[in-house]
Structure 1
Amino acid sequence: MFGAFERAVALRYLRARKGERFVSIIAIFSLVGIALGVATLIIVMAVMNGFRQDLIGRIIGLNGHLIVQPASGNRLPDHAGLVARLRALPGLTQVAPIVEGQLLVTSEAGGAAGALVRGIAPADLRARTTIAFSLRRGTLDDFKDQDALVMGQRLAIRMGVRVGDRVSLVLPQARGSDFTAAPKLRSFQVVALFDVGMPEYDNRHLFIPLAAAQDFFGLGDAVSQVEILVADPTQVRGVTEAVRAAIGAQPLRIADWQDTNSTMYAAVVVERNVMFLILTMIILVAAFNIISSLIMLVKDKGRDIAILRTMGATRGAVLRIFLLCGGSVGCGGTLIGFALGLSVCLNFENLRAAILALRGTPFFSQELLFIVQLPAVVDPREVVQVLVMGLALSLLATIYPSWRAARIDPAQALRHG
């Protein structure tokens, strides 16, 4: 497409000579601007992907990807057959019956707080990696006795509770045999503390064995709901139909994590899209700089263009010369930004450790400490999208100045040059 003559002239025009350094400096700034814009966009999108993945993992790690609940009331009787049918479905990693309820928890140190207690089988709790990997004290191996309890570390600190201490769960809604209000109270021993990094969970969640929860809430063999974990949480909508078919005509309601956390999920998606749009403006501004530098180059080289035309260069040759000039700056900057962005993402852990070491003290509050630990998740499709967008904008920015250069009349240029 580009001949040796056109490449040689374009290279000569890009070189800074005495009296022409200003145009070259603008071209260098354009290259740096596009490189920084592309690199920043790749890095920020990777960090946003890590933020979304980490946040969703923390949320659904405690609540499950799919929840099967009674259409009315809070009792799901005869759940054993339903659990067996669901466990036979492909793509499901866990099917766990759950008992859930609100109550008051008190400690011997005098602390008291409202909490959300969840009854779950010990094997199912140990399989929840979000809890297993976030233990700060104790071990889930001790979560086997009927009086065992696992609680959030922030709640434990607030109540002055440590592993081995006993706490009391108080259920105000219980009723006695004479139909008078009678709170129900039961003592449990704290065997482990967890900290998933989200105060709304660490401050109010408790886990007790499923059988103990059924007895405490008076449900007998019934449960409150069945939670399902799937292999790929992003494809949960496709699994919902298979779960619905397995349920059959039972009056049950199915909700996935996107429905139950719709506000937070929508906020993350909107923030990510807005960030992409804002950072794209950086590349767009750099592309306008290419237009400015090329227009100045065409104006500066008007006499040279006229001489080339009189020597036999065609309009197409002049057009390709300036396309090559602008394309070299834009595409070169895009490729440099691509390499820089990927290098930062691939070495994100080392860079973060170096920044924290230089800082010396954490610059995030304890509630937002998990942000410092975010991974950079590179999505190849997004990287290709950014790369194509950078190359396209760079090439589009060269079209008008190159067309103006090709339209220069040699006689007029030599007469007024």
Structure 2
Amino acid sequence: MFHFMRFFARAGAAAAGKGAGSGAAPFGAYERMLALRYMRSRRSRWLPSAIAGLSVTGITVGVMALIVVMSVMNGMRDEMISKLIGVNGHIFVQPIDTPLTDYRDVTEELKQVKGITFAFPLIESAAGISSPQQQSGALVRGVTEADLKRLPGVEGNVRQGTLDHFEGDSGLVIGEKLAETLGVQVGDKVSILTARGAQTPFGVTPRLKAYPVKAIYESGLYDFDQLMVFMPLSEAQLFFNRPGEATLIEAFVAHPDDMNAVRERIVQAITRPVMLTDWRQRSKTFFDVLKVESDSIFLILSIIVLVASLLIVQGLILLVKDKGRDIAILRTMGATRGSILRVFILTGLSIGATGALLGAALGVPLALQLDNIRSFLNRIFDLNLFPSSVYHLSQLPSSLDPHEVAAIALLTLGLSFLATLYPAWRAARLDPVEALRHE
């Protein structure tokens, strides 16, 4: 305490030299010194210091968990977007009023739009698909061989067969899950059934035709692998009675998150009436669920930080009681209520800042090396964490967002600040006469 008194006396004398009525600057040197000493205080009781240590530990664990889990959620979202729009595209152009018989011209107009990386026409129609063993529903998409080979969800993901001579052989390319359902392999024949068949005097009759399985792909998304069937564009036009036309044009863009600007440029570039939809609208429910899940996890893990902040409240209340005599002496030497208030606010913020820094220092490297850690644990302990056969992902995705790390740190500091207000207020209200009466 002698050191506090001597330091405070020097600070007061220096402040007095600046003129009457001027006091020590808020959050000045002696306030910071007292806050740091109180943070690691071990004078007569070990409990306040132990609670401060538990608070730092709890905040560290909470911040680390938040950073790692949110990085995994971001990685999963990016992975799902890349797979989902890898098969479906980013933006879809459909005709209005008249059939899309000028799809070649519209496709060329799309390719000239800034931000568009790939555009292709297709026929899309629901149909039934069957084999001698089983039957199922399918979404048949008629595309050219050149476009199919550039489709991200199919390119590089062919598990059986080949895409070469796709149009010449008039075969089908189906998903791996659909092939398992139908019990077929490359070379086997499957039948496609559509209600939009031949026009007869008695109306439109269903059409059924058998096609060989040319290739089997695996996109990594169960719904697509179970549903999507690719057919040559020319064959699809004949089979679905759409000669010389396409049902829609799909396009991929360089930056999927910046769709509004691309949509405006497309509206200006295309001369015929069209309806535009993009991946956000087609997959809105799916990504809304992901966002709700991410927000819920963030809220749940934030409770760890909140509990640690409540420990700050308890620790500071005990510290105020433990340092009552010191506070009274400081008040008699000229320390203001505001000065005492700031000392204890700084003490609590020091605990919160220490926990936030340690949590970030542990969480950021852990998030960046998460898949390597998973592989190490699998190898050392013969585990099978996050198996690719179940999740259809070759590695554990993790995408660290610096803005989220900053937001987590600010949240931690904000909760720590709120936790200090009541104990600091109690310390500032301490009556020095009452505190020293029994000394």
TM-score calculated relative to the size of structure 2 = 0.86
Write the deviation string for residues 126-160 of structure 1: whole angstroms up to 9, x where unpaired.
22222224332233345342413211001111212
**1:125 has 2:148 as partner:** yes
Which of 331, 343, 358 aligns to 1:309? It is 331
Residues 394/359 of structure 1: CA separation in 2 closer, same or farther (3 Å cut): farther
For residues 32 and 260 of structure 2, the distance between their equivalents in structure 1, rounded to whole angstroms, comes to: 54
Instruction: Confirm whether residue 164 of structure 1 aligns to residue 187 of structure 2.
Output: yes
**Identity between Structure 1 and Structure 2 (%):** 42
Where 1:226 maps in the other structure, the secondary structure is: strand
Aligned: 1:403 with 2:425: yes
The one of 382, 390, 393 equivalent to 2:404 is: 382
Matched, 1:58 2:97: no
Aligned equivalents of 1:17 and 1:237: distance in 2?
60
Shift of 1:18: 6.7
**Cα contact 2:110–2:119 (8 A) shared by 1:** yes
2:166 counterpart (143, 159, 182): 143
Cα–Cα, structure 1 residues 133 and 382, in superposed 2: closer, same or farther, change >3 Å?
Answer: farther
Structure-2 change in CA distance of 1:82 and 1:174 (3 Å): same
Partner Cα distance (1:355, 1:130) in 2: 31
Shift of residue 222, structure 1, vs aligned partner: 0.2
* Structure 2 residue matching 1:192: 3-state secondary structure: strand
Compared CA separation, residues 409 and 133, structure 1 to 2 (3 A)? farther
Query: Which of the numbers 56, 62, 65 marks the counterpart of 1:40?
Result: 65
Q: Check the 8 A contact 2:35/2:344 in 1, yes or no.
A: yes
Name the structure 2 match of 1:325. Answer: 347
Superposition map of 1:12-411 within 5 A: 12-15=37-40, 17=42, 19-71=44-96, 75-107=99-131, 109-175=132-198, 177-179=200-202, 182-250=205-273, 252-357=274-379, 358=381, 360-361=383-384, 369-370=391-392, 373-411=395-433
Deviates more, 1:199-208 or 1:373-382: 373-382
Aligned equivalents of 1:393, 1:300: Cα separation in 2: 24
Structure-1 separation of matches of 2:363 and 2:386: 24
Tell me how far apart the structure 1 counterparts of residues 407 and 233 of structure 2 sit (CA, whole Å). Answer: 48
CA distance in 2 between partners of 1:363 and 1:57 (Å): 19
The answer on whether the counterparts of 1:237 and 1:256 sit within 8 Å (CA) in structure 2 is no
Once the 2 structures are TM-superposed, how far is the Cα of residue 52 of structure 1 from its aligned partner?
1.7
Counterpart of 1:211, as a letter, is S
* 1:12-70, Cα deviation, whole Å (9 max, x unpaired): 43335375122222111111111122112222221221222222222222221111113
Deviations 1:92-140 (A, max 9, x none): 0111101011222233x53322211111122222222222243322333
1:315 CA drift (Å):
4.0
Q: Deviations over 1:235-257 (max 9, x none)?
A: 1122112222223452x221111
Contact 1:132–1:140 under 8 Å retained in 2? no
Q: In structure 2, do the counterparts of structure 1 residues 161 and 362 end up closer, same or farther at CA, with 3 Å as the change threshold?
A: farther
Give the drift of 1:199: 2.0
**One-letter code aligned to 1:63:** N
In 1, the alpha carbon distance for the partners of 2:140 and 2:157 equals 18
Measure how far apart 1:303 and its partner are. Answer: 1.1
Q: Is the 8 A contact 1:105 1:169 kept in 2?
A: yes
Q: CA deviation at 1:4?
A: 5.1
AA paired with 2:123?
V
* Structure with greater Cα Rg: 2
Give the whole-Å Cα distance in 1 for the aligned partners of 2:360 and 2:386. Answer: 29
Give the AA of the match of 2:431: D
Q: Which stretch has the larger CA shift, 175-184 or 394-403? A: 175-184
Q: 1:359 to 1:142 in 2, by over 3 A?
A: farther
Compare 98-107 and 134-143 and name the one that shifted more: 134-143
Shift in alpha-carbon separation, 1:69–1:146, aligned structure 2, 3 A:
farther
Secondary structure of residue in 1 paired with 2:154: helix
How many angstroms apart in 2 are the aligned matches of 1:365 and 1:246?
43
CA offset digits 1:70-95 (Å, max 9, x no partner): 3368x422211111111111000111
What CA distance in whole angstroms lies between the structure 2 residues aligned with 1:20 and 1:140?
Answer: 76
Bigger CA drift: 264-273 or 10-19?
A: 10-19
Q: Could you tell me how far 1:412 is from its partner in structure 2?
A: 1.3
CA contact (8 A) 2:167 2:232 kept: yes
Structure 1: distance between partners of 2:101 and 2:194: 21
Deviates more, 1:345-354 or 1:182-191: 182-191
- Structure 2 Cα separation of the partners of residues 64 and 188 of structure 1: 26
Q: How far apart are the structure 2 equivalents of 1:176 and 1:77?
A: 20
What is the RMSD of the two structures over their aligned residues, measured on CA atoms? 2.6
Given that 1:126 and 1:132 are in contact with CA atoms closer than 8 Å, whether structure 2 keeps it comes out as yes
Structure 2 unmatched runs, 5+: 1-25
Does the CA contact (< 8 Å) of 2:386 and 2:396 recur in 1? Answer: no
Q: Is the 8 A contact 1:315 1:406 kept in 2?
A: yes
When structure 1 is superposed on structure 2, of 176-185 and 323-332 the one drifting more is 176-185
Counterparts of 2:373 and 2:94 in 1: how far apart (Å)?
45
Q: Give the conservation status (yes or no) of the 8 Å contact 1:142–1:191.
A: no
Q: 405-414 vs 341-350, which deviates more? A: 405-414
TM-score by length of 1: 0.90
- Does the 8 Å contact 1:306/1:414 carry over to 2? yes
